[in-house]
Amino acid sequence: MSVSAELSEQLLRLTLDALPVYLLLLDAAGGIIFANAAWTRFTRAVGLCTPHAGVGEDYFALCETLPGCDARAFRTAAASIRDVLHGRRESCSSEFSCETGEGRSWYELHARRVETKGRPLLVVTHLDITARKQAKENAIRQHAELAHIARVATAGEIMAGVAHELNQPLTAISNYAQGCVTRLRDGVAAGELTGALSQIMRLAQKSGDIIRRTRNMARKSPPRRSTLNVNDLVHEVLQILHHELVAHGVTVHIQLAEDLPSVFGDAVQVHQVLTNLVLNAIAAVKQMDHAQRELHVTSHARRRSVEVSVIDSGPGFAETPDKLFEPFHTTKPDGLGMGLTISRSIVEAHGGTMRAERAADRTAFRFWLPIQGGAAGV
Q: Distance (Å, rounded) from C-alpha 302 to C-alpha 325?
A: 24
pLDDT class for 232, splitting at 50, 70, 90? very high
The whole-number pLDDT of residue 155 equals 63
Choose between 265 and 74: higher pLDDT. 265
Q: Distance (Å, rounded) from C-alpha 151 to C-alpha 165?
A: 19
CA distances from 199 to 164, 166, 196, 213, 294 (A): 19, 15, 5, 21, 34
The whole-number pLDDT of residue 168 equals 66
Q: Distance (Å, rounded) from C-alpha 58 to C-alpha 71?
A: 16
The whole-number pLDDT of residue 1 equals 46
20-24, 41-45, 221-225: range with highest mean pLDDT: 20-24
> pLDDT tens, 135-165?
887 777 776 776 666 666 666 666 665 665 6
Q: Distance (Å, rounded) from C-alpha 332 to C-alpha 89?
A: 56
> pLDDT tens, 271-318?
888 988 998 888 888 878 888 899 999 999 998 899 999 998 887 776
Maximum C-alpha span of the chain:
117
The whole-number pLDDT of residue 164 equals 58
Closest CA to 85 of 118, 117, 60, 122: 122
Q: What percent of the chain has pLDDT over 70?
A: 80
> pLDDT tens, 311-355?
988 877 767 767 777 766 566 655 556 678 888 888 988 899 999
